[in-house]
Amino acid sequence: MTPKIDRLRKKIDELDKKIIRLIAERIELASTIADIKNQQGIPLYSPEREKLIISSCRKEIENLGRKNMMEDIVNIMRYIMQKSYNKKIKKVHLILNKVL
Q: What is the CATH number of the domain that holds 29?
A: 1.20.59.10
Q: Is the pLDDT of residue 97 over 70?
A: no
Distance CA 82, CA 76 (A): 10
Whole-structure pTM value = 0.80
With beta carbons less than 8 A apart as the criterion, state whether 84 and 77 touch. no
The span from the CA of 32 to the CA of 48, in Å, is: 19
pLDDT in tens, 17-57: 999 999 999 989 988 998 899 899 999 889 999 999 999 99
- Number of structural domains found in the chain: 1
* Number of CB atoms found within 10 A of residue 23's CB: 14
Question: Is residue 92 exposed (0-12), middle (13-18) or buried (19+ Cβ within 10 Å)?
Answer: middle
Reduce the DSSP state of residue 42 to 3 states and report it: coil
pLDDT at 87: 76
Range of the domain at 38: 3-99
pLDDT at position 17 is 98
